[in-house]
Amino acid sequence: MSALSTRSKWLVLTGVATVSIGVAGVYGVQALQDHEHRTTGSSAADVSAELPTGPHITFRNTASGEGYGMVSSVALSDPDGPRQVSGQACDRVDVAGEYLSCLRTLRGIPTTFETQVYDYGQNLGGNPVATWPLAGIPSRTRVSDDGLVATTAFVTGHSYAADSFSTDTTVRGVKGSDGQDYGNLQDFDITVDGKPLVAIDRNVWGMTFAGGNRFYATVASGGTTWLMEGDLEKRTMASLATNAECPSVSPDGRTVAFKVRRGNDGDMIGSSSVHWDVAFMDVASGERTVIELDRGIDDQLEWLDEDTLLYGLPREDANWDADVFRLDAEAMAEPELFIEHAWSPSVVND
């Protein structure tokens, strides 16, 4: 190769790099401006300095202004009332027992992600009792009453409707469980209809605790999703049903709710027009009821009580903002607005 052609090649590469840096700079400035717009000024929500006493809902505050993205709480008896806003920013939140799990994004070069676990009600906003890296973009988290924390992150991709994505779902304990680390659920022994699922494209997400060592989770492979029942100590998962994602167990343990792809026979992962409805299944009988929604959801459901579900839904005119809706667990139910400017709800009854 001649010196001239080598020089030309480097000039082209330099030009491309310069343009790329310029584009990245413009994007970074725009992102910073958007963030400042969301987080400065008075809050769009009514804010209180006190944590609600008694049963309450803890969630990620999405009201623009001061407190945007922070863990917040509102009284269960007055979901429209003033919310207490903490000083802790989280993308995903869950509370159970003594602990709050916070999945968060640390923006920088490079951007990283982590799990922080707090002693709920004592040092929220201060130092966490446990912190560990998260493998990718925060997606789901659940906490057990005895101090186990489940997290799901997107390692590649950023949507369960994407053509391809990879997840990392892990379970590990805090102080209450002696720091037990169960690792990645993808490494468990997984069976579908009694046969081992060993495909390299299998993904696990949306894990939820069901008491003791039992849990439920989503497993996907070859375009099909399954509701799985698992055992942490045995490190096993076995299929219960197809077309079921992001399960959540009712307080009495008798019902599992999840989202289902409309018109799906188990082969629509990657569709550009995925629409998720809500379904719930009686654990004893396996009977499933589907609630068709005018606007589909993409969230892990939360039980408000034995008969009512909660979920977050981004606003169509501003997807950085969201609202929490309630939905009766019965056929033909219609969603009702429950908490404005809120995401990732968790019910705290203590």
Task: Note the pLDDT tens digit of each residue in 225-245.
Answer: 999 999 999 999 999 999 999
Task: Note the pLDDT tens digit of each residue in 47-106.
Answer: 776 777 899 999 999 999 989 999 999 999 999 999 999 989 999 999 999 999 999 999
Residue 192 CA to residue 301 CA, distance in Å, equals 24
Q: At a CB cut-off of 8 Å and minimum separation 6, what does 119 contact?
A: 98, 99, 129
Residue 161: per-residue pLDDT? 86
Which tokens is 192 given?
Answer: 């579908």
Helices (H), 70-207: none
Cis peptide upstream of residue 335 (ω within 30 degrees of 0): no
The DSSP code for 187 is: G
Residue 158: per-residue pLDDT? 86
Which tokens is 41 given?
Answer: 């000024």
Q: Which residues of the chain have pLDDT under 50?
A: 1-33, 176, 265-268
CATH code for 46-348?
2.120.10.30
How buried is residue 26: exposed, middle or buried, by Cβ count under 10 Å (0-12/13-18/19+)? Answer: exposed
Residue 14: per-residue pLDDT? 38
Closest CA to 229 of 267, 303, 286, 166: 286
pTM recorded for the entire structure: 0.86
In sequence order, the β-bridge partners of residue 87 are: none
**What percentage of residues in the chain have a pLDDT greater than 90?**
71
Q: For tokens 């696990």, name the residue.
A: 204
Residue 284: per-residue pLDDT? 96
The DSSP code for 76 is: T
Determine the 3-state secondary structure of 331 from DSSP. Answer: coil
Closest CA to 275 of 264, 284, 283, 266: 264
Residue 328: per-residue pLDDT? 98
In order of 118, 147, 236, 241, the CA distances from 217 in angstroms are: 24, 18, 11, 11
The DSSP code for 105 is: E
SS3 content of the chain, % helix, strand, coil (to 5): 10, 50, 40
CB distance 117 to 129 below 8 Å: yes
Residue 95 CA to residue 111 CA, distance in Å, equals 26
Closest CA to 182 of 236, 102, 128, 133: 236
